[in-house]
Amino acid sequence: MNESDYQALMEKSWRRPLTADEQARLDAWLTTHPQQQQADWELEVTVSGLLTQLPNAPMSSSFTAQVMLAVERDLAAQSRQPGLLAKLKRWLHIPAPRLAWALGLIALGWFVVHQHQANVRSDTAKGLSVMANVASLSNPSMLEDFESIRRLNTSEDEELFAVLTTQ
Amino acid sequence: MGAGFARVRTVMSTVPDPDAALMLRVKQGDVAAFEVLVEKYKQPVMNLVYRTLPDATEAEDLAQHVFLQVFKSAPRYEVSAKFTTWLFTIARNLCLNEIRRRSRHPADSLDETYADNDEQPIRQVEDARIFAPPETLLQGELEEKIEEALSELPEKQRTAILMCRGDELSYEDIAKVLECSVSATKSLIHRGRETLKQKLKPYLKTGAWKEG
């Protein structure tokens, strides 16, 4: 037996009393080692004994009944929940629908972004077409007198037109 | 629905852990199976909770809450996890939450947190030590000293030592509950026990333990 075997036996002794064979191996090891190690082991065994004999925590006799009462209350509260909501909650707890939800949300997100980009592209195209029409107009110098002509009284034109037609 | 039950039956027939099999029944809404689990594990859970929150009434409230949480979480239970590991993880997490809550609101009591327990009858918890005969006093004193020394340990060391006492949880299971490696768990236990030994040495040297 070496130091690591000793350590392994110690770890076993933390959980349960050693078997006769393990105890014999340990005793053989301890006799070949200094007094201090024997004292340490004795203390180790004592602490294990004390820990094993720790009394159970005090507990009321109605513990289980109270837990079951709380469970019944919980079930009653669940049944009072709106059926659809409860079903949805239960459904969301199952991995596959959760995955479906996640995929659905991703798809929706993608659709919204895609739609937004399409709208931007369409707006840009409309803007470009307007600009193209502006570019195809005649020489802008032709419009120089547009405002003056527009302000002229149209009735004078009509009179002039009438004179011309009678001649 | 029928396929679901067939699947559960198949899983149950391959489940080596009887507690996991019971938990699968709970998952299907079997309250009686849950009662069996409560009856089996109420004392180990209470022992852990009581030594983290050393007030019998508050510890019992929290232990009950642990089981209620287990029931509520049943739909998410997977057989891949050993039931006791899962149970003690829930218990430890609730204890840690309570410790955190207390550090934020030192004056609050657990009764306020779980106010829906109002209708429950007043508990009658018997303290066996009060009625102990004189010859067991030395043993009682030692128990007191070790309880005191345990309560002064850091939470992780104390929990590791308490869970290591029985055969219920392996070192691997304890490591899972504590969310650390197996070697770190063994180190926690070793350090905790060293502290206990140092604190108990003066009392053990008197031979009180052996006489007790």
Report the pLDDT value the prediction gives residue A132, as an integer from 0 to 100. Answer: 80
Q: A78: Cβ–Cβ under 8 A, 6 or more apart, which residues?
A: A86
| Distance (Å, whole) CA B47 – CA B43 | 6
Q: Is the pLDDT confidence value at B7 over 50?
A: no
Contact check, Cβ <8 Å, A67/B161: no
Q: Is the pLDDT confidence value at A114 over 90?
A: yes
Length of chain A: 167
Q: CATH class for domain B135-212?
A: mainly alpha
Question: Taking CB atoms and an 8 Å cut-off, how many pairs form between chains A and B?
Answer: 118
- pLDDT tens digits for range A49-101: 889 889 999 999 999 999 999 999 988 887 776 667 767 777 767 777 778 88
Q: Select the more confidently predicted residue: B77 or A82.
A: B77
- Whether chain B has a CB inside 8 Å of the CB on A69: the answer is yes
CATH code of the domain made up of B1-111: 1.10.1740.10
**Preferred mutation among B60, B118, B183, B185 to probe A, highest tally of A CBs within 10 A:** B60
User: Which residues in chain A have their CB less than 8 angstroms from residue B189's CB?
Assistant: 14
Grade residue B194 by pLDDT with cuts at 50, 70 and 90. very high
User: Which residues in chain A have their CB less than 8 angstroms from residue B204's CB?
Assistant: 43, 46
Q: Is the pLDDT confidence value at B78 over 90?
A: no
The ipTM, to two decimals, is 0.73
Sort residue B207 into left (φ over 0), alpha (ψ -120 to 50) or beta: left
pLDDT above 90 covers what percent of chain B?
A: 53
Domain B1-111 and domain B135-212, same fold? Reply is no
**Preferred mutation among B34, B43, B49, B68 to probe A, highest tally of A CBs within 10 A:** B68
Query: B56: distance to nearest CA of chain A, Å?
Result: 7
Query: Residue B193 is nearest to which of A47, A54, A71, comparing CB atoms?
Result: A47
Q: From B147, which residue of chain A is nearest by alpha-carbon distance? A: A54
Report the pLDDT value the prediction gives residue B102, as an integer from 0 to 100. Answer: 85
The angle formed by the CA atoms of residues A84, A86 and A92, to the nearest 5 degrees, is: 100
Q: Confirm if B71 and A68 have CB atoms less than 8 A apart.
A: no
- pLDDT tens digits for range B122-160: 444 445 444 455 545 577 788 888 999 999 999 999 999
Domain boundaries, chain B: 1-111, 135-212
Distances (CA, A) of B77 to A104, B35, B92: 26, 17, 17
| Distance (Å, whole) CA A31 – CA A23 | 12
Q: Is the pLDDT confidence value at A15 over 90?
A: no
Name the amino acid, one letter, at B19.
Answer: D
Q: Confirm if B42 and B28 have CB atoms less than 8 A apart.
A: no
Token pair listed for A68: 């079951």
| Distance (Å, whole) CA B78 – CA A6 | 38
